[in-house]
Structure 1
Amino acid sequence: MLKRRFVIAALAVASLAPVTASAQHLPDLKARSVVVVTENAYPPLQFVDPKTGKAIGWEYDAMNEIAKRLNFKVEYQNVSWDAMIQAVSDGQYDIGMTGITIKDERKAQVDFSDPYLRSEQFMLVRGDETRFADEKAFAAVDGALIGAQPGTSPFYTAVYSILDGNEQNPRIKLFETFGATVQALKGGDVDLVLTDSVAAKGYVDASNGGLKVIGGPLGAEDFGFIFKKGSDLAAPVNAAIAALKADGTLDALNKKWFLDYKMGH
């Protein structure tokens, strides 16, 4: 399996834990400067808008809101994924954000925040599909095709969780955009697209019965921000994450980036 977290992931945001934090109880970091590093290569979490050249995304919106509530000045810098965890561990940056999956082996190098997103993918098919009802049945249907973008979470889940682990499997048909995969599904050029629950519901609701979701969630992973071991930023950031969950801010970001962004692109 891959060593890095997937690019352009389909993210289904789950209720990770009950929270009760409120903004008035958050720590005040007194305008402290905090350097946050990212890769800008993981839409819709963080990426450079090709139209404006501006770095945008879910994580930018969330981190800017965290900085506002904790009263710190955020400075963004960029580094490659391969160098990020070690650079944060060495104290070159205060926080790392780039859809980093929380894993026990990484906890030996860095501290993680509480989860702020859970990645879960669902099977989107045409409304009249009757040949298969889950991933095992799909794999058994000769000639049934999956539409995916290369190098994405849906692509790798298709390879390793549905098919045979061969990244060259001809049953995966590649497209440049997520929207193109859905259009191919509607047009009968492919038979399955993997996406998050929020976007899946949006497409199904807008399809007038043309699309439906089958099976259960695939590829569940929790994402967190990373800090140098022992960082005094972890507890305040966790408090802010809890507050953003409690007041609906994260739900609003989920809709903005995982439904509206996909539906519009």
Structure 2
Amino acid sequence: MTRLSPRSSPRTSRRVGRRTAALAGAAALLTAVALTACSSGGGNGGNGSSDTVTDGKLTIATGQPAYSPWIDDNKPESGKGFESAVAYAVADELGYKKSDVVWTRSTFDSAIAPGAKDWDLNIQQFSITAQREKAVDFSPAYYTTTQAVVTTSKSAAAGVTDIAGLKGLKVGVATGTTSLTVAKDELGTTPQVFNSNDDAVLALKSGQIDAVVTDLPTAFYMSSAQLDDGKIIGQFADDGNGDKFGIVLPKGSALTNKVKTAVDTLKSDGTLEALTKKWLSTEVDVPILK
């Protein structure tokens, strides 16, 4: 006669189910811990943790194209040009060799928009503003500039020497820049807004506008390299609240405090002052617009 196996009671089934669930949960927890340990074990050249988008590398973005005096010859990897030199100085403070720095490109507007980024730092004359700080992190200012006015010898603005002479003229600015605010405040007019400084220059060449408002170093490049007959009318007075440029980082970046410390160090030890004199020394010759 065949003996039939007794059926399990409901209570026994529940105990077995609970044990199975507990064992599965413990296994999942151990797996997660192991994966976390593996992912945090890679070095990044600076501190041995995964603070960067690529372990062991520091990815720095700039504009496309990038212009002098910020980046010479559109080659940030050369270390020539003010912002290229600043970027490498910051990288060095973070513990990265020049060979560990990877350059990439981004648009101006996308860099300061909310969301994930495929770079660690971005440097392309970003003015530090409270509105932008809601979406991204900033380093302390590595440079403070005034705004200037560029025109051509054939423009209606060619003979202007003061702010009063600019009022009523057609002025252009690049979108997303402090130049827009300055043009409105200083000239009491609503300027024409362009997608980039390059587009504003083209409009100036074609006679669509009479002048361009931009930061002073960019004004030098426009007048000497982009315009055959370009000239800087003057710069607006520095009231102590000039346009402060900061390095942009993704919001909540693990590098933010380290970059802040790096920039503060470069200020205190004189490095930023030396780089400013080397790459931006021509600014003192531009008259103040009154």
**TM-score class, shorter:** 0.5 to 0.7
Matched residue count: 200
Q: 1:29 aligns with which of 26, 47, 51?
A: 47
CA distance in 2, matches of 1:162, 1:94: 37
Cross-structure match for 2:103:
76
| Corresponding residue of 1:115 | 141
Change (3 A) 1:51 1:122: closer
> Quick check: 1:110–1:227 contact (8 Å CA) kept in 2?
yes
**Correspondences of 1:79-90 after superposition (within 5 Å):** 79-86=106-113, 89-90=115-116
Q: Give me the TM-score of the superposition, normalised by structure 1.
A: 0.56
In structure 1, what is the Cα distance between the partners aligned to 2:181 and 2:268? Answer: 31
**Aligned match of 1:193:** 233
Instruction: Identify which of 223, 226, 249 aligns with 1:178.
Output: 223
> What residue is the counterpart of 1:232 in the other structure?
254
Distance verdict in 2 for CA 1:150–1:41, change over 3 Å: farther
The residue number in structure 2 matching 1:101 is 127
Highest CA radius of gyration, 1 or 2? 2
Unaligned residue ranges in structure 2 (runs of 5+)? 1-45, 49-54, 151-158, 193-202, 213-218, 286-290
Q: Which runs of no fewer than 5 residues in structure 1 stay unpaired?
A: 1-27, 125-130, 186-191, 196-213
RCO higher in 1 or 2 (8 Å CA, sep ≥ 6)? 1
Give the TM-score of the pair, scaled to structure 2: 0.52
CA distance in structure 2 between the aligned counterparts of 1:223 and 1:35, rounded to whole angstroms? 19
- CA displacement at 1:108 relative to structure 2: 2.1
* Aligned-residue RMSD, C-alpha: 4.6
Asked if 1 retains the 8 angstrom alpha-carbon contact of 2:65 and 2:74, the reply is: no
Give the number of the structure whose residues are more often strand, by fraction: 1
The residue identity in structure 2 corresponding to 1:38 is: T
Q: Does 1:165 align with 2:190?
A: yes
CA shift for structure 1 position 166: 4.1
SS in 2 for 1:35: strand
Alpha-carbon distance change, 120 to 34 in structure 1, aligned in 2, over 3 angstroms: same
- Distance in 2 of aligned mates of 1:256 and 1:83: 30
